[in-house]
Structure 1
């Protein structure tokens, strides 16, 4: 229990003991009394501030005043406590509602940002695909311009300036004054680059036309092989794809038209040669003449046999009707 001070008769906040009278005083009050009288208030003996001894006690609990012990005062105190609790609860509810609104707004902004990002990503992808589609078109026109045997003279399409002949990389182009099939295609379409663009024939996700051939019987038909593993037969006059031939497991690096039949041939690094029927858009034969990437194709003059070369250092001679390999030849001096 707390000891009341001798002067105030209340529980002191800072108690101290007088060694003269052995009474407990409130330090604030006893210091004021000593400053005025210089004696102990109980026995009037001389006393100074230096003689006072502090008492170390826990923080005292001040008793309630007598007025707070009545029933109305107790009811009022309980009502005040209840009001404080309700006010605190209301404040917490307001903070919770504000936090919910802020969270809902943040989630809405996040969803809107995700939608914008998705739309922009879609637009970027579409732009990349459009750009990639333009690359095969430019490559096709450049290939037509560089791989022809262009003679001096004129054609129905207009004047052609005299220029030295350029040797073509196509195995079937004639080396003479006659205009080749490719040269005829370019010469009669001298303004092809500026007035006509072939739409992208191959998938833009893996762009690139890797092989091209013209039909000997109808120069409007173009045969292409692409990095997307597909073979495309395209009609220049109608600007339509006649057939999309799918079957290779790797890119198509060589394509050849049959001169008299509706057949086309394709080769790929998947070590296969495929013979396709254009009207049916189907593969009629798969020739497995090599164990490595097939690098080149050439059709025999009779149109019945196919010659192929490969990274396995072999040349193969195959029958296009049966798909059977007739013979394989290698250069013994190469060490194979």
Structure 2
């Protein structure tokens, strides 16, 4: 009886897969450029069953925040931005950005500076890092000391110390167009800061558990967050409004999050090794990427929108093709290697890994270009400067290190 039942279920699954493949082929021809990245995922709903979600729109969400819902204006703004970004990416095509350092020069990088004084020595450890996209001299760090620090690498001066979180600062974002930064903490809050005044302008109380993931939408107006409360949230950084909050039906903590470059979809990682892709507008789980072992520690979308890099507590990096929903490459590191963060450069030419050490890979060939062993403790963050002109990393050893050409 069990064999017969399994055979029937398998037949149904194969039939559904075949039907889905035909639908995918047809939709691929019809898809518009503006929704290219999203459309490559949505047909797969027929293959990868979407998870039930529980949006708290218009009601009281967990943590006491009221989810007001996404207005037509918000949806239109997101779509408009996605269209512009997709068209811009098509104009650039496959050309290498002017000024991008070639692999041979990345191999020649040296440690240029080490800054140990950005955070308290009594509570050691820098936990998060970002670079100001519009002013490459400014870097943002989050510390075990509950503070965030804005640092000017050119003048080697601290620009601002942002105090307000009641627990460590584990996620930081430097706004691309404004002198504004966003920080997240296990104290359940997300803070939006005005850097010149070093003051909090908005506090987001979207979660009733530690905030574990943070990603800024390409419009620059909204932030995606994840938490151990098993929800992801989408909030307005201008007003502090919680627009929507959705439960991950697997009933486990979410560990990290990042928007796709177009902002129509995003990825989350879970405590039970799952990488999930979500449609923001529909608030539904449209694809799952299994294969890791242990909690997912970091995910990063390539700027071309086609590739996703993921890492977990299994000492490997998996590369996924979003058009085929397929793991096409696994970089297996040494046993016991700890990966804290992944980061593509802005061109999608290089991938950096921060953890037991700091490593840089050349994409497409997935060739290791450089290993930096200067940190005396685990590296927690890594970022590329514009055109990979420099690389920055942070560590539990309290230091911010900068690498480049002499």
TM-score normalised by the chain length of structure 1: 0.44
Q: Which has the higher contact order (CA 8 A, sep 6+)?
A: 2
Q: Answer 1 or 2: which has greater helix percent.
A: 1
Q: Answer 1 or 2: which has greater strand percent.
A: 2
Greater Rg over alpha carbons, structure: 1
TM-score normalised by the chain length of structure 2: 0.36
